[in-house]
Chains A and B, each alone.
Chain A
Amino acid sequence: MTAEATGTQAADRLVAVPVRHWGRWVGALVVLAVFALLGKAFVGADIHYHVVGDYFTAKNILTGVWHTLLISVLAQAMGIGLGVLAAVMRQSENPVMSGVGWFYVWLFRGTPLLLQLILWFNLSALFPTISIPGIWSVDTNTAITPFVAALLGLGINEGAYMAEIVRAGIGSVDTGQTEAAHALGMTQGLTLRRVVLPQAMRVIIPPTGNEFVNMLKSSSLASAAQYTELLRVTQTTYTSNFEIMPMLFVAALWYLILTSIFGIGQYFLERRFARGSQRELPATPAQRILSALRPGRR
Chain B
Amino acid sequence: MTTPMVLAEKVHKYFGKLEVLRGIDLAVQPGEVCCLLGPSGSGKSTFLRCINHLEKITAGRLSVDGELVGYRQQGDKLYELREKETAAKRAEIGMVFQRFNLFPHMTALGNIAEAPIRVKGASKATAVDQARQLLDRVGLSDKVDAYPAQLSGGQQQRVAIARALAMQPKLMLFDEPTSALDPELVGEVLDVMRGLAQDGMTMVVVTHEMGFAREVGDTVVFMDGGVVVESGDPKSIINNPQEERTKAFLGKVL
Range, interface on chain A: 20 to 34
Does A185 belong to the interface (CB within 8 Å)?
yes
Q: Are A185 and B88 in contact (CB under 8 A)?
A: yes
Nearest to B90 among chain A residues (CB) is: A185
Given contacts A188-B83, A194-B114, are A183 and B90 in contact (CB under 8 A)?
yes
Given contacts A176-B97, A182-B90, are A187 and B84 in contact (CB under 8 A)?
yes
B window 18-58: CB within 8 A of A: 52, 54
Q: Are A180 and B54 in contact (CB under 8 A)?
A: no
Cβ of B91: which chain A residues have Cβ within 8 Å of it?
A: 184-185
A window 213-228: CB within 8 A of B: none
Does B122 belong to the interface (CB within 8 Å)?
no
Cβ of B105: which chain A residues have Cβ within 8 Å of it?
A: 198-199, 273, 275-277
Does B163 belong to the interface (CB within 8 Å)?
yes
The 0/1 profile, CB within 8 Å of B marked 1, for residues 174-208 of chain A is 10110111111111101000110011000000000
Range, interface on chain B: 20 to 34
Does A278 belong to the interface (CB within 8 Å)?
yes
Given contacts A177-B103, A184-B167, A277-B104, are A190 and B149 in contact (CB under 8 A)?
no
Q: How far does the Cβ of A185 sit from chain B's closest Cβ, in whole Å?
A: 3
Given contacts A185-B119, A276-B149, are A179 and B167 in contact (CB under 8 A)?
no
Q: How far does the Cβ of B34 sit from chain A's closest Cβ, in whole Å?
A: 18
Cβ of A277: which chain B residues have Cβ within 8 Å of it?
A: 104-105, 149
Does B81 belong to the interface (CB within 8 Å)?
no
Name the contact of B147 in the complex, choosing from A174, A184, A276 (C-beta under 8 A). A276
Q: Are A187 and B167 in contact (CB under 8 A)?
A: no
The 0/1 profile, CB within 8 Å of A marked 1, for residues 83-126 of chain B is 11001111111110101011111100000001100110000000
Nearest to B173 among chain A residues (CB) is: A183
Does B164 belong to the interface (CB within 8 Å)?
yes
Q: Are B119 and A177 in contact (CB under 8 A)?
A: no
A window 135-191: CB within 8 A of B: 174, 176-177, 179-188, 190
Name the contact of A183 in the complex, choosing from B52, B148, B150 (C-beta under 8 A). B52
Cβ of B84: which chain A residues have Cβ within 8 Å of it?
A: 187
Cβ of B147: which chain A residues have Cβ within 8 Å of it?
A: 275-276
Q: Are A187 and B83 in contact (CB under 8 A)?
A: yes
Give Cα A235 to B31, complex, Å: 80
Q: How far does the Cβ of A7 sit from chain B's closest Cβ, in whole Å?
A: 39
Given contacts A276-B147, A277-B149, are A184 and B163 in contact (CB under 8 A)?
yes
Give Cα A201 to B90, complex, Å: 27
Q: Are B54 and A179 in contact (CB under 8 A)?
A: yes
Give Cα A65 to B62, complex, Å: 65
Give Cα A186 to B90, complex, Å: 8
Q: How far does the Cβ of B86 sit from chain A's closest Cβ, in whole Å?
A: 8
Cβ of A194: which chain B residues have Cβ within 8 Å of it?
A: 114, 118
Q: How far does the Cβ of B6 sit from chain A's closest Cβ, in whole Å?
A: 15
Q: Are B101 and A177 in contact (CB under 8 A)?
A: yes
The 0/1 profile, CB within 8 Å of B marked 1, for residues 271-295 of chain A is 0010111110000000000000000
* A residues with CB within 8 A of B: 174, 176-177, 179-188, 190, 194-195, 198-199, 273, 275-279
The 6 closest A-B pairs by CB, nearest first: A185-B91, A180-B101, A183-B95, A276-B147, A184-B115, A176-B101
Interface contacts beyond A177-B101, A184-B163, A185-B88: sample of 6 additional A-B pairs, CB < 8 Å, sorted by A: A179-B101, A180-B97, A183-B52, A184-B119, A185-B90, A275-B147
19 contacts between A and B (CB under 8 A): A174-B101, A179-B54, A181-B103, A183-B52, A183-B97, A183-B164, A185-B88, A185-B92, A185-B115, A186-B87, A186-B119, A188-B83, A190-B119, A199-B104, A275-B105, A276-B105, A277-B104, A277-B149, A279-B149
